[in-house]
């Protein structure tokens, strides 16, 4: 075996290693709650989804901004709900 170094052509590719596990877990918590309450991936087929998820994201952000950290129904943080609603909008807008 030679002493040549291997090559990995990943320049310009997404840096997935920069996404913290806590961010993925936050999404998974809300998605799990939604799947248990409604159905798996049902959020993808909601009528008027963009307007409704936009409104939901704003509601959760405003409540969080006023100082209420945890949603009384889900027992999950409002900021996690907002993140998930924005993720829905990102998916639906693509």
pLDDT in tens, 31-62: 999 999 999 999 999 999 999 999 999 999 99
pLDDT band at 1 (very low <50, low <70, confident <90, very high): low
Residue ranges of E strands in 1-94 = none
Q: What's the Cα-to-Cα distance from 84 to each of 67, 81, 91, rounded to whole Å?
A: 19, 5, 10
The residues spanned by each domain of the chain are 50-94
Q: Which pLDDT score is estimated for 19?
A: 97
Strand partners, 77: 70
pTM, two decimals, is 0.88
Helix (H, G, I), strand (E, B) or coil at 93: helix
User: What pLDDT, in 10s, does the model give residues 3-32?
Assistant: 788 988 889 999 999 999 999 999 999 999
């Amino acid at each position: 075996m030679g002493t040549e170094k291997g090559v990995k052509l990943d320049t310009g590719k997404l840096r997935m290693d920069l996404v913290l596990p806590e961010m993925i877990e936050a999404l998974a918590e809300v998605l799990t709650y939604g799947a248990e309450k409604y159905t798996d991936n049902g959020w993808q087929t909601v009528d008027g989804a963009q307007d409704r998820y936009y409104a939901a994201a704003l509601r959760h952000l405003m409540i969080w901004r006023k100082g209420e950290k945890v949603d009384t129904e889900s027992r999950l943080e409002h900021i996690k709900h907002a993140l998930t609603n924005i993720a829905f909008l990102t998916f639906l807008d693509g």
